Amino acid sequence: LGTWRMGESRADATREVAALVLGLDLGMTLIDTAEMYGEGGAEEIVAKALQGRRDDAFIVSKVYPQNAGAKSAPAACERSLKRLRTDRIDLYLLHWPGSIPIAETVEAFERLREAGKIVRWEVSNFDTRAMRSLEATKNGGHCATNQVLYNLSERGVEFDLLPWCAGRQMPVMAYSPVNQGALATHRKLSALAAAHDVTAAQLALAWTMRDPRVITIPKSSTLARVDENRRAAALVLTPDVTRQLDGLFPP
């Protein structure tokens, strides 16, 4: 369950909380958020959705690059914990590479992990070169995963980053798996999906999940769409459909 653009409007809060609650009820237990989303507002939405059921969810949150220093990272983490109303974050990310040395960020993350504030840490928007640099850093091998842009129309990570991560048994998290809704209304994708009695969005999500090492985090504040997304997990793409998708969206 993604939460980008949540927590930005009080008028939408009830609907957003309900969407996350439904997702949890349907077994979508990983919730991805960030201090950047709604400047903390999305984390507060997550807290409301998890009221009385914190242990049902795997919380992922992210720190701004400018807040990823030796002193600033612990402070940012405490603010996220307060907004999330929890005692730990299951997976804490560096949102994207910044000017603070990665070694300093890793050290800060390791201290947070040892203190029990976070359970694991990872990075986001790191290309292969950045991942190699991270791996060469002390404790860099503790990175749990890399969250990147990945969908049918954005396949660049397939060339080197996905194989690099696979070689290290490192899963990848795919954000914007429906390309911010563009794939849900793609004419040719919609025609192919209709031929198989599914929606274009479901086909796009199933495609990202064809590899068990890829975790996909679609965001929706609409109950019907949350249910639609959940049902995509049951789809298994045949080789023929995969070939047709490669034809529509060449790697």
Cβ–Cβ < 8 Å for 65, 126: no
Global pTM value: 0.95
37 is catalytic: yes
Percent pLDDT > 90 in the chain is 100
Which of the residues 37, 92, 150, 175 is marked catalytic?
A: 37
Coil, strand or helix at 85: coil
Residues 6+ apart with CB under 8 A from 196: 203, 241
Digit-coded pLDDT (tens) for 156-182: 999 999 999 999 999 999 999 999 999
Digit-coded pLDDT (tens) for 181-230: 999 999 999 999 999 999 999 999 999 999 999 999 999 999 999 999 99
In this prediction, the residues of the chain whose per-residue pLDDT falls under 70 are none
Helices within 115-238 (DSSP H only): 128-135, 161-166, 187-195, 200-208, 223-232
